[in-house]
Amino acid sequence: MDKVDAMRLFARIVERRSFTLAAQDLALPRSTVTEVVKRLEARLGARLLERTTRQVRPTLDGEAYYQRCLAILAEIEEAEAAFTGAKPSGLLRIDVQGTLARHFMLPGLPAFLARYPGIELRIGEGDRYVDLVREGVDCVLRVGKPADSSMVGRQVALLEEATCASPAYLERHGMPRSPDDLEGHRMIGFVSSATGSVIPLEFQVNGALRQLTLPVTTSVVAAETYVAMARLGLGLIQVPRYRLQQDFANGTLVDVLPAFPPASSPVYLLYPQNRQLSPRVRVFVDWLAAEFAARLPLTT
């Protein structure tokens, strides 16, 4: 194995915190991975990795070498592409919020893959916190401002939010004219993946944001189930307005308190701050940002 391939292998071990997972990612025997690291440490005259029964982690020298490897590998990939005219290629691991991806990403995905046939996408779906480096993920698509300072966040959209309920629910509880009329109403709880608590309803009143937590009979963690329960008349919900267009048109859900909307939700593409973007990650991020701009222009 040459020096460049050894760098790629070492970087993957650091990111996956595992010899075995790195070997699986790169389709190498476990014994080869061990031998390459042994030779690398001997050549550099430094211990690069600390091994325990549970995980592998870089030493201080290993972390410094890892950062240099990332920069060198990205430069090599970009330089070769510039001289050969080759398009970005290789495995690209992303994690997305499913409903968002189905509406904004999937419609244009065939065109992206046709333009970059050498890129292989591995798509995970969820709304949980993802440790990009440790889990070997290149970027994630999420709603909400990133709390992790180690991530670079590129805002690609602002989602206008709406409050809604089914006609049957409003027949029982009445149509409120302001947030002050919500006494006696119920909400379907949506549990935050970050806090584990039910997210309160929000209303903009006279330029200020008011939060209200109404009685909750049912709580969910999945966006599709959240909307489905609202259609069944179980309570008020607040979701991005783009998801409600068909329900509003069909009359299965009704716009409630449109004069007092929740705050808009930002959408971010996140990737590690300390990792130089590879060409395949860069073209994907630029493409997906353009897809959002075409379907839902970024506004304030």
Residues 65-83: pLDDT tens digits?
Answer: 988 888 788 778 777 766 6
Give pTM, 2 decimals.
0.69
* Distance, CA of 17 to CA of 21 (rounded, Å): 8
Q: Over 60: is that where the pLDDT of 274 sits?
A: no
Q: Where are the domains of the chain?
A: 3-84, 90-154+269-295, 161-263
Q: Over 60: is that where the pLDDT of 202 sits?
A: yes
Residues 207-223: what's their mean pLDDT?
92
- Which of 97-101, 123-127, 164-168, 276-280 is predicted most confidently? 164-168
Residue 299: pLDDT band (50, 70, 90) is very low
The DSSP secondary-structure symbol of 91 reads E
Q: Over 60: is that where the pLDDT of 298 sits?
A: no
Longest dimension (CA), the chain: 76
Q: How far apart are the first and last CA of the chain?
A: 52
Give the pLDDT of residue 300.
Answer: 40
Task: List pLDDT tens digits, range 235-253.
Answer: 999 999 999 999 999 999 9
Between 151 and 223, the higher pLDDT residue: 223
* Distance, CA of 179 to CA of 171 (rounded, Å): 18
Between 1 and 10, the higher pLDDT residue: 10
Residues 49-65: what's their mean pLDDT?
88
Task: List pLDDT tens digits, range 12-31.
Answer: 898 888 999 999 888 899 99
Q: Which two tokens stand for residue 150?
A: 């180690």
Per-chain mean pLDDT for the chain: 87
Give the pLDDT of residue 72.
Answer: 85
Q: Mapping DSSP to helix (H, G, I), strand (E, B) and coil, where does residue 266 land?
A: strand
Pairing mode of beta strands 151-159, 265-272: antiparallel
| CATH architecture of the domain formed by 90-154+269-295 | 3-Layer(aba) Sandwich (3.40)
| Cβ contact 254:271 at 8 Å | no
* Distance, CA of 25 to CA of 287 (rounded, Å): 25
| Cβ contact 121:89 at 8 Å | no
Common-topology check for domains 3-84 and 161-263: no
Q: Which CATH class is domain 161-263?
A: alpha beta
Pairing mode of beta strands 119-125, 90-96: parallel
7 CB neighbour count, 10 Å cutoff: 20
- Which of 81-90, 131-140, 205-214 is predicted most confidently? 205-214
Percentage above 70 pLDDT, the chain: 90
Q: Which two tokens stand for residue 53?
A: 């029964």
* Distance, CA of 173 to CA of 181 (rounded, Å): 10
| Cβ contact 285:275 at 8 Å | no
Q: Over 80: is that where the pLDDT of 145 sits?
A: no
Half-sphere exposure of residue 40, counting CA atoms within 13 Å on the CB side?
26
Task: List pLDDT tens digits, range 85-111.
Answer: 667 888 888 888 888 889 899 999 999
Fold classified for 3-84: Arc Repressor Mutant, subunit A (1.10.10)
